[in-house]
Amino acid sequence: MTRVQTRRSQAGPASFETDLVREVDIVRDWVSALMARLGWRERDPTYRAMLACLHALRDCLPRDAAMHLALALPPVLRGLYLGGWRISGRPAASRTRQGFLERIHEGVHRDPGIDPEALALGVLALLAERLPPAELENARAATPSALHPFWPS
Can you give the pLDDT of all 153 residues of the chain as single tens digits?
444 444 444 555 568 888 889 999 999 999 999 999 999 999 999 999 999 999 999 999 999 999 999 999 999 999 999 988 877 755 566 789 999 999 999 999 999 999 999 999 999 999 999 999 999 999 999 999 999 999 998
- Residue 102 to residue 30: CA distance in whole angstroms: 23
Whole-angstrom distance, CA of residue 74 vs CA of residue 64 = 18
C-alpha triplet 124, 49, 133: angle, nearest 5°:
20
Fold held by 3-150: Globin-like (1.10.490)
In a 10 Å sphere around its CB, with 0-12 CB exposed, 13-18 middle and 19+ buried, how is residue 33 labelled? middle
Main-chain dihedrals φ then ψ at residue 92, nearest 5 degrees: -60, -30
Neighbour tally for 88: CB within 10 Å: 5
Domain ranges, ordered by start, for the chain: 3-150
Q: What is the pTM of this model?
A: 0.86
Report the alpha-carbon distance of residue 56 to residue 125 in Å, rounded. 15
